[in-house]
Each structure stands twice: as C-alpha cells, then as structure tokens.
Amino acid sequence: MTTGADVRDILELTGGENDGPITKKDLINSDKKKSKKTTETLTFKRPEGMHREVYALLYSDKKDAPPLLPSDTTQGYRTVKAKLGCKKVRPWKWMPFTNPARRDGAIFHHWRRVAEEGKDYPFARFNKTVQVPVYSEQEYQVHLHDDGWTKAETDHLFDLCKRFDLRFVVVHDRYDHQQYRKRSVEDLKERYYSICGKLTKVRAPSGTDPKIYIFDAGHERRRKEQLEKLFNRTPEQVAEEEYLIQELRKIENRKKEREKKAQDLQKLIKAADTTTELRRAEKRVSKKKLPQKRETEKPAVPETAGIKFPDFKSAGVTLRSQRMKLPSSVGQKKIKAIEQILMEQGVDLNPIDLVLLYELKQAHSNCEYEQQMLRHRYEALLKASGGGGASLPGGEAQAWPSADDIKVEAKEQIIDVVGAPLTPNSRKRRESASSSSSVKKVKKP
C-alpha cells in the first residue's frame, strides 16, 4: 500500500522535513523528539498541594491511561530497534579498500556508505606494532658478542621477534632448531632482553641513567617448575595440603587469642599499678595533713568515750569491719543498750559513733540528776534559813545564802562527765555535801 511520501517520491516532488535521507540522529534521537512533542501537548501544571504520585495518574493527551503498577520502560542495555519513518535510506556502495597493516599491497572489497568513500580503513587504528631494536655490525662486535650465540642465530631471533610482535611462544614454535641449537623460551627471552638493555645503555646520552629491563631467566624456570609440580599433584596430596592449611589457620587463631589475653592481662596489671600508686600518694598526703587536722579537731571531739578500741598495727590490709566489733571489756548491759538504740534508729549493729553517743547520753543523765539534787538542796537551805534576808510580800524575811554557801554550791556544781553515776569521786562529793549541809543545819539554830 502506497503512502503520500511514496507518491511524492515517484513524482519527484519535494515535501516536508520527512522527505530527506535518514541520518544517524534520526534513528537514535527519535524517542527524544516524540517526548518533546508530548511535553508540548500538556495543557496544565501540577497544582500546589497535590502529590506527585496522584498527579502522575492524570493524563491530558489521547494516549492510554497510565499503568497502576510500576513498569520498566527504560531502554538500558536493551537493543534499540530502528524506527524508520518516511525519509530516504542512505546509499551504500561496493568499493575496494586496503589494510595499512599489510605490506603485500592486497586489495579487498566491501560494502560501505557513499559518504565514507576515500576515507582510511577504520580498523587500522588497532594495528599496534612493537619497535624491535636494530643493531649494526660494529655494535654487535663491540657490545653484543656472546660465545653461546652466533650472529646468524641472533639475527634469526630478532627477525622472528619482529615478525610475531614478541610473542615468544610463537617465536619458539617457529624457531629453526635443526639449523641452530635447541633453545627454550627462557633462553630466547634472556638473549633478546640482554641485547635490548645493552643497546639502551650504549645509545643513552652521557650524563643520563636510562631504565633497563632485566629478565631473570632462573626465576622464570623455577616458577614454571613449581607450576608443573602444582599441576601434577594427586588428589591425596591436594587433600593433605588442604588439611595442613586448616591446621595452620587454627594455630594462627590460637596464637592471636593468646596474644589478646596477654594484652588484656597487661592492661589489668597497669591499671592495678596506677591505682596502688594513687593510693600511696593519697596516704602520703593524708599523713602530712594529719597533725594539722588533729590539732583543729581536738576541741570539737570530746574524749569522754569509756570504750577503747584496740589499734591494728599489723602489716598488710585490714578491713574496716574489724573496727566495728566491740572489745571484750564492754559489759552486757552496754551492749544491749547499744543494740536497742540501733533498733530504734534503724541503723546496722556496732557502728563506732553510737558508742560515743551512748556515753554522752549517760553523762548527760548524770548531769541532770546532780542538777536536780543541787536544786532541792538549795530550796531546802532557803526554807531552813530564818533571817538575814529580804522581806517577802507576806511580811516574812527571805534568807539569802552566805558567801561560804555560794562557794560550797559552786564547788558542788563541778560534774565528773567521765565517771559513771556511782563512781568513787561522785560518792565522796555527795557524802561531803550532805555532811556540810547537816552541820549548817545544826549550827544555825
């Protein structure tokens, strides 16, 4: 079925843009042109507040509705199909060509575009040749002479290296072993690279240090022998080697674990050393500051505790819980009283401070008892004295204590806090006070 473009082509009429020849850009960028046209047909933009996914569901052209499921429409590595339109095809021509890599002047033919007629063969740029050095007769006699190699054999080697681009396996295969000695690939390489190194060293300008490639033939032979031995191993040898490799890995893992444990132990030892040094430094500082602290704390801490704890002068480490134990000289009454106070206060048994608290409470109760006794005696003395005092509102005279009585009362106000209520000192004072009061009562009438 003919189209309008075919009719115009038959009538040789010029048409629009689609009547020209098809170019490479038309085949590759056909999708881009269509996408531009489709973008131009859009009549409205995405409104504000509408999500992109919701806007993608809308369409304003005459194409199919957008898919509800995601689909891969990108070209990627897929082969792009040529989309031909109404344009003319570029003409091709059967033409001859020559390959620059060949020196025999052979002429070949192939199809090629008319626009590329007269251009060089495109694959000629991949023809890479190796620059094999050429030496003169004088250079060979002076620098390159070797007893194991003749000049004819050396020329034959360099000719093969130039023909086969230093592919030494091919050179060894094409080497004339009947006319010359049988050589290995390593021997050929060693002879070639030794000559190249000598020529670069001789031809280098004075004062320069050229880089010379050195071929180690002995190392190459040993490498190939090892490869042959590795290739010729039996299955038993392969299994044994794998077993040895596994055992070696286990040994290395154990070694790493031991080294890690040793490092951790060293860290702990260093940490312990630092802590002991810090403690020693703190002890030294505390020992230097102890006398000052004791002098300042002497008036604040009363020395009235009746319980003396033994001093631990033994060398080594001691526990603080050892100082919490009461000595054996403490009676059962004090121990029970201390335990009762601890139960009331909700504190653990046998703290050192509560022993002092108990002693202070006991001394305080003794003081109150003696104060009561002195008050009663003072009131009794006031009642017993009949005159020599000021008159009371009822007409009776109030008897004031004399100077001797005041001295006696001042002496009796001295309280022994250290002793118990019934110590010998307190008994003597009470007896002397009672005897003096009775004497006064007898004298005054």
The predicted-structure confidence for 406-428, as pLDDT tens digits, reads as follows 444 444 444 444 444 444 555 55
Lowest-pLDDT range of 109-113, 128-132, 227-231, 280-284 = 280-284
**Residue 79: its pLDDT value, please?**
64
CA-angle at 328, arms to 322 and 329, nearest 5°: 125
pLDDT at 247: 95
Query: CA end-to-end span of the chain, whole Å?
Result: 169
pLDDT in tens, 385-402: 864 444 444 444 444 455
Query: Where does the pLDDT of residue 268 fall: very low under 50, low under 70, confident under 90, or very high at 90 and above?
Result: confident
Highest-scoring range by mean pLDDT, 111-120, 218-227, 278-287, 394-403: 218-227
- Whether 354 and 342 have beta carbons less than 8 Å apart is answered as yes
CA nearest neighbour of 303 among 421, 415, 418, 425: 418
Using CB atoms within 10 A of its CB, is residue 414 exposed (0-12), middle (13-18) or buried (19+)? Answer: exposed
Between 286 and 238, residue with greater pLDDT: 238
Residue 216 sits at the vertex; the CA angle it makes with 210 and 221, to the nearest 5 degrees, is 160
CA–CA distances in Å: residue 369 to residues 172, 364, 408, 421: 129, 9, 18, 9
**pLDDT score at 231:** 93
Contact assessment for residue 210 and residue 197, using Cβ atoms and an 8 Å cutoff = no
At 82, the pLDDT band (50, 70, 90 cuts) reads low
User: Per mean pLDDT, which range of 41-45, 143-147, 193-197 is the poorest?
Assistant: 41-45
- Of 372, 440, 426, 378, the closest CA to residue 406 belongs to 378
Residue 179 amino acid letter: Q
Distance CA 33, CA 38 (A): 9
Give the long-range contacts of residues 378-387, CB within 8 A, separation 24 or more: 378/409, 380/437, 381/405, 381/437, 381/440, 384/440, 384/441, 384/444, 385/444, 386/444
Residue of 205 and 17 predicted with greater confidence: 205
Give per-residue pLDDT as tens, 55-64: 777 765 555 5
Give the per-residue pLDDT at 440: 44
CB 193 within 8 A of CB 168: no
pTM assigned to the model: 0.39
Task: Identify the CA nearest to 369 among candidates 423, 408, 330, 406.
Answer: 423
Q: Which of 27-31, 223-227, 288-292, 397-401 has the lowest mean pLDDT?
A: 397-401
Which of residues 98 and 397 earns the better pLDDT score? 98
Comparison of pLDDT for 118 and 437, the residue scoring more: 118
Decide if pLDDT at 186 tops 60.
yes
- Over 90: is that where the pLDDT of 233 sits? yes
pLDDT of residue 414: 45
> What is the average pLDDT value for the chain, to the nearest integer?
75
pLDDT of residue 191: 93
Q: What is the mean pLDDT of residues 47-70?
A: 70
pLDDT computed for residue 442 by the predictor? 41
Parallel/antiparallel/unpaired status of strands 397-398 and 390-391 = antiparallel
CB 217 within 8 A of CB 187: yes
Q: Inform me whether the pLDDT recorded for 213 exceeds 80.
A: yes
Pair 418, 304: CB distance under 8 Å: yes
Query: Is residue 238 pLDDT above 80, yes or no?
Result: yes
| pLDDT at 281 (0 to 100) | 81
The band of 161, judged by pLDDT with boundaries at 50, 70 and 90, is very high
| Model confidence at 333: pLDDT above 70 | yes
Mean pLDDT calculated for residue range 255-281: 87
Identify the CA nearest to 404 among candidates 439, 376, 367: 439
- Mind spelling out the 3-state secondary structure of the chain? CCCHHHHHHHCCCCCCHHHCECCHHHHHCHHHHHHHHHHHHCCCCCCCCCCHHHHHCCCCCCCCCCCCCCCCCCCCCCCCCCCCCCCECCCEEEEEEECCCCCCCCEEEEEEEHHHCCCCCHHHHHCCCCCCCCCCHHHHHHHHCECCECHHHHHHHHHHHHHCCCCHHHHHHHCCCCCCCCCCHHHHHHHHHHHHHHHHHHHCCCCCCCCCCCCCHHHHHHHHHHHHHHHCCCHHHHHHHHHHHHHHHHHHHHHHHHHHHHHHHHHHHHHHHHHHHHHHHHHHHHHHHHHHHHHHHCCCCCCCCCCCCCCCCCCCCCCHHHHHCCCCCCCHHHHHHHHHHHHHHCCCCCCHHHHHHHHHHHHHHHHHHHHHHHHHHHHHHHHHCCCCCEECCCCCEECCCCHHHHHHHHHHCCCCCCCCCCCHHHHHHHHHHHHHHHHHHHHCC
